[in-house]
Structure 1
């Protein structure tokens, strides 16, 4: 039996739709997925949660969707979780990739097989190639090389999984706030598309520096490419990047030349819809092999 630990976003419902049998849907307290969970658990009760999964006959676990690291209330830690506290604390204190590796190791040590989302739904990984009517120019290819190098540097620092590049210049890097917020740094404050994005605090506070080039000239995203891919050597059973119609809408509204994703490393939700929207707007969509020209 499969347990799906669902975070936010559209990936969990997309996986459920592809399964013949509905999995046991679980959610970490404080994160409301787009599907109704059967079990909601706290990180302070992880040991009890693992026991409940075993009692229900769960043998496989898949983690899908976005979840931020929770704070631990030591007063809430139960007896079954107490032996796991050092490992949980180390996981939360480490970077994203390290935290996921530690959580996967805990699941495996308790006898569960951890499956990747793309194992359950391999159709979410599109084939390599240029799928759009718009072509990829030599300038776009050069920008993709620069973007891949930037992503490798970001990955080694355990940062984001996307960046925006134009004419060899990195315009923006994805942070902990995600791809939507990266685009939103360039959006006019009155633009309704970004109404759902929380731009208070750090994002709004840094908007002026993102909207100015190195030479002080105003900068926007017209003609740039979005490049997205996994971190180098990350455990791909969790946190594989995802794009979908919303990403396409952001790219179109920002005036990008196109979207580049790493072949085998980025899942695409509603592929046909994404491609149709990009085609109508004249953007290219390139599923690029790692290290490709």
Structure 2
């Protein structure tokens, strides 16, 4: 039986819509999902008790999906079942995003759960390689993609983001802890021309069972407002929500969408 630990954003709802059997939907306090209704809430200070509850309910698999902020631990609220996990939790909160997720996955696996990725439980979240839009990338775009891959490789080493914007082989923006939307909004205020692309892919050594990059129709809208000519995603490495709408929005706004093999 599957438990979905849902965060914010549309991804949890998209996963549930693709499953034949509804999972047990859970959420951490302060990160209540809007796309699904959580049946089981927990505090990080009670993580040990939460895992015991999952076991009692017959849960064998866990999937994490949606955005989750980093909580602050209240030492006075930690229950007895969670005390043994405190060193791992402290290390996770002090690590980068990928390191933190690896630590959380380790806790789940040590507790006897199989951790599944969103794309494991809902394979249709991923798109195959190709360019499904009317507009196709040109030679300059292909050069920008190569530069974008180099930039993301450097970002991966520092564990700081999963996307960048490139124009004329120059990085005009890189994602940080505020995310892709913030980066694209910042680009809207730059008076330095049009063209270029958004390049998005997982980090080089990322554990793909959590925090896989995701786009949806709003991403296309924001890329167009930022003056970009297209979006390039690693095929099989980026979740695309509302895929038909994403393609239709790109066609309407005159952008290309390129699912490029890694």
TM-score for both structures, normalised by structure 1 = 0.87
Stretches of 4+ moved more than 3 A in 1? none
Deviation (angstroms), 1:184: 1.3
Aligned residue pairs: how many?
261
Q: Match for 1:232 among 204, 215, 227?
A: 204
- Superposition RMSD in Å: 1.0
Q: In 1, distance between residues paired with 2:18 and 2:215?
A: 18
Map 1:82-161 onto structure 2 (within 5 A): 82-161=83-162
Deviation (angstroms), 1:120: 1.1
Deviation (angstroms), 1:279: 1.0
Q: In 1, distance between residues paired with 2:228 and 2:58?
A: 48
Q: In 1, distance between residues paired with 2:60 and 2:199?
A: 36
Task: Write out per-residue CA displacement over residues 148-190 of structure 1, whole angstroms, 9 at most, x where no aligned residue.
Answer: 11011111100010100000010000111111100111335xx
Task: Write out per-residue CA displacement over residues 194-246 of structure 1, whole angstroms, 9 at most, x where no aligned residue.
Answer: xxxxxxxxxxxxxxxxx3xxxxxx425x2020000000111000000000011
TM-score for both structures, normalised by structure 2 = 0.97
SS of the equivalent of 2:151 reads helix
Q: In 1, distance between residues paired with 2:188 and 2:74?
A: 38
Q: In 2, distance between residues paired with 1:186 and 1:286?
A: 21
Q: In 1, distance between residues paired with 2:129 and 2:246?
A: 16
Deviation (angstroms), 1:121: 1.2
Map 1:1-293 onto structure 2 (within 5 A): 1-34=1-34, 35-187=36-188, 211=190, 218-220=191-193, 222-290=194-262
Q: In 1, distance between residues paired with 2:50 and 2:151?
A: 39
SS of the equivalent of 1:261 reads strand
Q: In 1, distance between residues paired with 2:225 and 2:99?
A: 35
Unaligned segments of structure 2, at least 5 residues: none
**Equivalent residue for 1:193?**
none
Unaligned segments of structure 1, at least 5 residues: 189-210, 212-217
Deviation (angstroms), 1:253: 2.0
